[in-house]
Structure 1
Amino acid sequence: MRYLISALAAVLFAAPVFAQGLSASYSATPTGPVSLADITIGETLEAKRDEYGAREFDRLIRTLSSDLQRELREAALLADGEGSATLHVVIEDATPNRPTMAQQGGTSGLSFQSYGRGGAHVMAELRAADGSLVATYEYSWTTPSIQDAQFANVWTDTNRTFDRFSSRLAASLRDAVNSGS
């Protein structure tokens, strides 16, 4: 019984964090498949390049790109070549659950056994072929409790954020294309 009450309390208190959704704003009606531009790193995350290590940024970009391609393809919205619009994505910030190799090498006392709350903040713009803004998207998520991170790998919560961002963006875009709004 005590376990059930604890689990229920955890769900109730974590609900506002899990309820965070994709912020999507359409200034024009999107049409047809979209192309994915190279994903970039925002200023906040760029300032952490030396701390995290440059190779980690490549890993984050590859993961998010793969997630977006998968979700847009499943929604039949990924252009094979050039699309009618291009999605420009920026990883504004990311926090690892465990220290990266560069962090471990640069900070005494850190080890792979160290862990913390992770997550990410991602933004995107959908631009028409003429460069005009069609839509903006924004999504942030951080694990609600440090206990959730104790079994995580370096980028577990960041990867979870990327996956949620990608699926919610694709669903929002599909709905907008299908509804004509």
Structure 2
Amino acid sequence: MRRIAFLAPLAAALAVSGAAAAQPSAVVVTVSPDFAKTAAELGQRDVDQQVDDMRRTVERVLVQRNALDGARVELTITDLKPNRPTMQQMGDKPGLDGMRSLSIGGAAVEGTVTLASGEVQPVKFDYYTPTLADARGSTTWTDAQRAYDRLARRLADGRYTMR
């Protein structure tokens, strides 16, 4: 019984501290009209999943780092490259091998961050694996997911454009 009496105030303190964490008011991720044409070649299911993965990654990192409290983050994927063929690509080109076909992957993103003060900051970021050797051991979207994480960390640090 004493353990429960000890844990109850601790749990209450943790709940309050978690509720006070900074959160962006919204993170919205879309696909640019130009990229939408290429998205069909990758497969709409895969692209939709990557849009959702980017949104979740950015939200998670911003909350973890207590960054951009009350900001609205609007991101647009302008390019997306898988490290391995997607299901759509393998269906369209039967010669591709899901295990042995390997390429340089990554993503390019543009958008805006509207801070709680109303100030609007442009966002421009891209990351692609530097060499094919760096892509070894990758899954289909490893480098794209690495790009999302790097973008999210830059946003949390207040670095909105890649220089």
What TM-score does the superposition give when structure 2 sets the normalisation length? 0.75
Residue identity in the other structure for 2:148: F
Query: Matches of 2:94 and 2:58 in 1, distance apart?
Result: 37
Q: Give the alignment's Cα RMSD to 1 decimal.
A: 2.1
Aligned to 1:116: 103
What are the equivalent positions in structure 2 for 1:41-60 lying under 5 Å apart? 41-60=31-50
Which runs of 5 or more residues in structure 1 are unaligned?
Answer: 1-31, 174-181
**Partner Cα distance (2:136, 2:27) in 1:** 35
Aligned pair count reads 137
After TM superposition, which residue ranges in structure 1, 4 or more long, deviate above 2 angstroms? Answer: 127-130
Matches of 1:139 and 1:50, distance apart in 2: 23
Task: Percent identity, please.
Answer: 31
Partner residue in 1 for 2:61 = 71
Which of the two has higher C-alpha Rg?
2
CA shift, 1:127, in A, is 2.7
Gaps (5+ residues) in structure 2? 1-21
Aligned to 2:25: 35
Matching residue of 1:126: 113
Which structure has more RCO (C-alpha within 8 Å, separation ≥ 6)? 1
Q: Which residue of 2 aligns with 1:147?
A: 133
Matched, 1:168 2:158: no
CA separation in 1, counterparts of 2:91 and 2:109?
27
* TM-score normalised per structure 1: 0.68
